[in-house]
Amino acid sequence: MDKLNVTDINISGFVEMNTYRYLYFCIMFKLYTLIMCSNGTIVYLIWRHKDLHEPMYIFIAALLINSVIYSTTIYPKLLVDFLSEKQTISYSACLFQFFIFYSVGCSELSLLAVMAYDRYVSICKPLRYTTIMRKTTVSILLVVSWIVPACHIAVQVILSFQTKLCNFDLKGIFCNNAMYTLQCVKPRALTLFGAVILLDNLALPMLFTVFTYTRIFIIAHQSCKEFRRKAFETCLPHLLVLISFSCLGAYDGILPRVESDVPKTARFIMTLQIIVYHPLFNPIIYGLKMKEISKHLKRLFSRNKM
């Protein structure tokens, strides 16, 4: 058991499902297919149509690509577990799931902050928009939004890999922060670096986003009714996604801490919300609320019906 990379961890978050395992498998397979198709369709439309080659839509595509990566890390293993008599995962694979889950999560919050800045420049400084949001700027913001969170989480994963395990029963259906309950003692360095991640990748982007939208709404409130309407329409989808993501983050943080008070079936259903709700919420919101994307979606579906 000293070689952590070959240690098998029992995944105990599944309910008893001998009778319904194939039903669960079919449902989750259809959900995974729906997630991949819905996110992939909008990414394709943004890539295909030149009128969508604008910073706002590029950042939306980045968010949806994150959903595809995140789901592909979780669902294939989940589908295998539904068909297995015993649900286990190696510690190395568990750390990989943890790395992708939180890298993508922190990256999404960074992208939402970047999108808030993009909306701020577009609404409050329209004459300077093309000068500020150049292709080079957009590329740098995308790279930073992906690379910085990944580097932070990678350090945390390396520290976790070197930590001794005393528990091999993971109360969940995939490896999130419940993984820390497996460790004998949480190293001080891991705790301190977790605080750094909380500040750099969560608190600062969230505060920046809230500050930016506050500035937008103050300026919009001081402007004409038509300006307020346009500002609200362009910001609403991003605000809905931000609220959804914030609820998801709070949900993920609270669930492992109350696991002893939550029945196994309820915990299973609650955890499913994390892996189902948000990857489907993003494409639905952007597909319905963003007029240009909605227009191309209608054209795509009407063409397929002919």
The pLDDT confidence band at residue 1, using thresholds 50, 70 and 90, is very low
Share of the chain above pLDDT 70, in %: 87
Burial of 252 (0-12, 13-18, 19+ CB in 10 A): middle
Residue 133 has pLDDT above 50, yes or no: yes
CATH number at residue 59: 1.20.1070.10
Give the total number of structural domains in the chain: 1
- The per-residue pLDDT for range 236-264, each reduced to its tens digit, is 888 888 888 887 777 776 766 665 556 66
- Domain coverage including residue 150: 4-305
User: Locate tokens 């520290």: which residue?
Assistant: 159
Of 5-9, 113-117, 133-137, 196-200, the poorest mean pLDDT is in 5-9
Residue 267 has pLDDT above 50, yes or no: yes
> Mean of the pLDDT values across residues 265-287?
78
- The per-residue pLDDT for range 169-216, each reduced to its tens digit, is 777 778 887 777 777 777 777 778 878 888 888 888 888 988 998 888
Of 9-23, 46-60, 98-112, the poorest mean pLDDT is in 9-23
> Mean of the pLDDT values across residues 213-241?
82
Please state, as a whole number, how many other Cβ atoms lie within 10 Å of the Cβ of residue 271.
Answer: 24
State whether the Cα torsion 80-82-84-86 is positive or negative.
Answer: positive
Identify residue 262 by its one-letter amino acid code: V
Please give the pLDDT value at position 203: 85
Are the CB atoms for 4 and 165 separated by under 8 Å?
Answer: yes
The phi-psi region of residue 186 (left if phi > 0; otherwise alpha if psi is between -120 and 50; otherwise beta) is beta
Please give the pLDDT value at position 4: 38
Share of the chain above pLDDT 90, in %: 25
Residue 3 has pLDDT above 60, yes or no: no
Are the CB atoms for 177 and 81 separated by under 8 Å?
Answer: no
What is the C-alpha separation between 185 and 79, in angstroms, rounded?
A: 32
Instruction: Tell me which H or E stretch contains 167.
Output: none
Q: How far is CA 235 from the centre of its chain?
A: 19
Q: How far is CA 56 from the centre of its chain?
A: 18
Residue 49 has pLDDT above 80, yes or no: yes
- The per-residue pLDDT for range 66-103, each reduced to its tens digit, is 999 989 998 998 888 888 877 788 888 888 998 998 99
Selection from 172, 178, 160, 186 nearest residue 257 by Cα: 178
> Mean of the pLDDT values across residues 21-39?
89
**Residue 60: both structure tokens together:** 């939306």
> Mean of the pLDDT values across residues 154-159?
88
- How confident is the prediction for the chain on average, in pLDDT? 82
Please give the pLDDT value at position 9: 66
**Residue 267: both structure tokens together:** 């915990």
Query: Of the ranges 119-128, 133-142, 241-250, which is most confident?
Result: 133-142
State whether the Cα torsion 288-294-298-304 is positive or negative.
Answer: negative
What is the C-alpha separation between 157 and 54, in angstroms, rounded?
A: 35
